[in-house]
Amino acid sequence: MANEDILKKIISHCKEYGFVFQSSEIYDGLSAVYDYGQNGAELKNNIRQYWWAAMTQLNENIVGLDSAIFMHPTTWKASGHVDAFSDPLIDNKDSKKRYRADVLLEEYIQKIEDKVNKEVEKAAKRFGEKFDEKMYRETNPRILENSKKIDGVNLRMKAALESNNLSDIKLLIEECEIVCPVSGSRNWTEVRQFNLMFATEMGATADGSSKVYLRPETAQGIFVNFLNVQKTGRMKIPFGIAQTGKAFRNEIVARQFIFRMREFEQMEMQFFIKPGTEMQWYNHWKEKRLKWHLAMGIPENKYRFHDHLKLAHYANAACDIEFDFPMGFKELEGIHSRTDFDLGNHEKHSGKKLQYFDTEENKSFVPYVVETSIGLDRMFLAIISQSFCEEKVVSGENGEEAGERVVLKLPPFLAPVKVAVLPLIKKDGLPEKARIIMDSLKFDFRCYYEEKDTIGKRYRRMDAIGTPFCITIDHQTLLDNTVTLRYRDSMKQERISTDGIGEIIKDKVSLKQVLSRL
Ligand code: ATP
């Protein structure tokens, strides 16, 4: 199935089963803004909780923070966002569509890379076991030519972006003969810079009000509180401050569902260190963060690192952890060595010292920072697309109805509902018995009770929202206190005593067993 079709299916599944809705849908929606429904809110909470626990509970030297969305406007001057938080945009005069100029070039490069990889794959098939990929890539003339083209475009784009040479970016787009995907034409406007911050007014009167921004990242709330937390928490370097919360960016091209939103949530951790140790900590956090992803049971080949060519205005080393989304490999998380850029600039703009006093060396310094920054909504999309599965069900097996099923094979600890409690029929005392079982489980797990429709239909609904366990109560339950426990992924069913259910479920859904893999 084409990747676009998979994304479409995921989007409609998210809507149909209460995960994600278009914001203000009754007014035809608001572009690139989304609401999380009853199941989406739970899944999102569970992802956030996993991140928070991994950061603040497993690391003695990382503490949490919850800073405000509004900040003093000078914050954004100091951070560089007022002057430099912009994207180069270009319009196609025929389709009137707007694009990020750098993204057009990146997509062009990606197409050539895909071509190269296809060629290598074909050769690997042709030559079989004898195939030496490295040698092939280094000697095949077509591949060499394409690699040279990729390097050339990359280098020129990097130089143009760094020197803000917007006319060269346009020239490059023209030389690469990039066409507008909608109109198919090369009728481009000039490239312009567009600031991504949303601004609003704070204060009641026109005279007395001042312009404030909706924060475009949560990180600055951490920097301005650096000394507050360090002093009151008696933190010793190296230490980290973690925060989750909303961020806002007026993205030029906002598409691909919750991948690129105008209002989204970040989970960021700033790690304060001694200058000179940043590469050591940068590598440490690269490794730690990948481990966090893999501990959920997502296969390693779904992830890759991508080193930044164009470093942001604050970084001296930066990479992305990319995920294989339905649209291909794209950024999921960033790991950045931010030097003393932020604290240093806040010192300058506020006139307040933001330094750490090292008692061993008896001197003060502005710490360096290594940051890990992941989008919660992107992580949500990664998890949903990894878990979404359409399967054929074999006739009659375990009493399941034959046909197809859509199942979300979510990591059980993230599932919105952990266990469904289902009386086989609505009478004979089965609902009452089911309620007793539900009452014994609901303090430990999020349960869902349902007595409507056939048991097969109820199983399918639970599969579709990723519920790892279903418990069915039948007439035998009234006699011997046993129930049928059904497993989501294998659809296996077993008869067990009600006494043991809590332990079986706990073993599979607890956050503890995932955290212990870190
Ligand atoms: P991109 O290159 O995709 O615009 P970025 O490099 O600007 O992302 P950062 O500023 O490093 O992103 O933000 C950290 C993380 O926040 C990203 O890795 C991503 O997961 C998330 N993020 C950034 N922008 C958005 C957005 N518009 N919608 C959803 N998540 C986002």
List pLDDT tens digits, range 119-159. 999 999 988 888 899 999 999 999 999 999 999 999 999 89
Q: How far apart are CA 507 and CA 160, in angstroms?
A: 54
For residue 480, pLDDT over 70 is answered with yes
Higher pLDDT pick, 285 / 163: 285
Indicate whether residue 244 lines ligand 1 (CB < 6 A). no
Q: Half-sphere exposure of 156 toward its Cβ, with a 13 Å CA cutoff?
A: 19
Indicate whether residue 260 lines ligand 1 (CB < 6 A). yes
Q: What is the arithmetic mean of pLDDT over 175-198? A: 94
Average pLDDT, the chain: 93
Q: What is the arithmetic mean of pLDDT over 79-100? A: 92
Atom of ligand 1 nearest to the CA of 216: 10
Q: What is each CA distance from 508 to 41, 288, 488, 513, in whole angstroms?
A: 21, 23, 12, 8
Nearest CA to ligand 1 atom 29: 260
240 CB-near residues (< 8 Å, 6+ apart): 55, 59, 61, 62, 63, 269, 270, 271, 272
3-state secondary structure of 486: strand
Mutate to test the pocket of ligand 1, among 79, 87, 266 (most ligand atoms within 8 A of CB): 266
Res 130: pLDDT: 87
Reading phi first (left if > 0) and then psi (alpha if -120 to 50, else beta), residue 403 is in: left
**pLDDT band at residue 162, thresholds of 50, 70 and 90?**
confident
Indicate whether residue 375 lines ligand 1 (CB < 6 A). yes
Residue at 413: amino acid letter: F
Indicate whether residue 372 lines ligand 1 (CB < 6 A). no
Residue pLDDT, tens place only, 259-277: 999 999 999 999 999 999 9
**pLDDT band at residue 1, thresholds of 50, 70 and 90?**
low
Indicate whether residue 251 lines ligand 1 (CB < 6 A). yes
Q: State the distance from the centre of ligand 1 to the C-alpha of 375, rounded, in angstroms.
A: 6
Q: State the distance from the centre of ligand 1 to the C-alpha of 483, rounded, in angstroms.
A: 47
Indicate whether residue 377 lines ligand 1 (CB < 6 A). yes
Q: State the distance from the centre of ligand 1 to the C-alpha of 256, rounded, in angstroms.
A: 13
**pLDDT band at residue 475, thresholds of 50, 70 and 90?**
very high
Span of 51-65, 199-213, 351-365 with lowest mean pLDDT: 199-213
Res 108: pLDDT: 95
Nearest CA to ligand 1 atom 4: 260
Of 247, 258, 216, give the one whose Cα is nearest residue 383.
258
Res 2: pLDDT: 60
Indicate whether residue 220 lines ligand 1 (CB < 6 A). no
Residues found in the chain: 518
Q: State the distance from the centre of ligand 1 to the C-alpha of 75, rounded, in angstroms.
A: 20
Whether the CB-CB separation of 498 and 478 falls below 8 Å is answered with: no
For residue 399, pLDDT over 70 is answered with no
Nearest CA to ligand 1 atom 23: 375
Res 4: pLDDT: 72
Q: State the distance from the centre of ligand 1 to the C-alpha of 265, rounded, in angstroms.
A: 10
Q: State the distance from the centre of ligand 1 to the C-alpha of 376, rounded, in angstroms.
A: 10
Res 232: pLDDT: 97
Q: What is the arithmetic mean of pLDDT over 440-466? A: 95
Share of the chain above pLDDT 70, in %: 97
Indicate whether residue 247 lines ligand 1 (CB < 6 A). no
**pLDDT band at residue 398, thresholds of 50, 70 and 90?**
low
Nearest CA to ligand 1 atom 18: 333
Cis peptide before 238 (omega within 30 of 0): yes
Q: Is the dihedral of CA 275, 280, 286, 288 positive or negative?
A: negative
Q: State the distance from the centre of ligand 1 to the C-alpha of 217, rounded, in angstroms.
A: 9
Atom of ligand 1 nearest to the CA of 260: 28
**pLDDT band at residue 289, thresholds of 50, 70 and 90?**
very high
Indicate whether residue 106 lines ligand 1 (CB < 6 A). no
Res 396: pLDDT: 61
Pairing of strands 493-497, 482-487: antiparallel
Q: What is the arithmetic mean of pLDDT over 353-359? A: 94
Nearest CA to ligand 1 atom 3: 331
Higher pLDDT pick, 392 / 395: 392
Q: State the distance from the centre of ligand 1 to the C-alpha of 325, rounded, in angstroms.
A: 15
Q: State the distance from the centre of ligand 1 to the C-alpha of 158, rounded, in angstroms.
A: 19
Res 207: pLDDT: 64
Nearest CA to ligand 1 atom 8: 331
For residue 397, pLDDT over 60 is answered with no
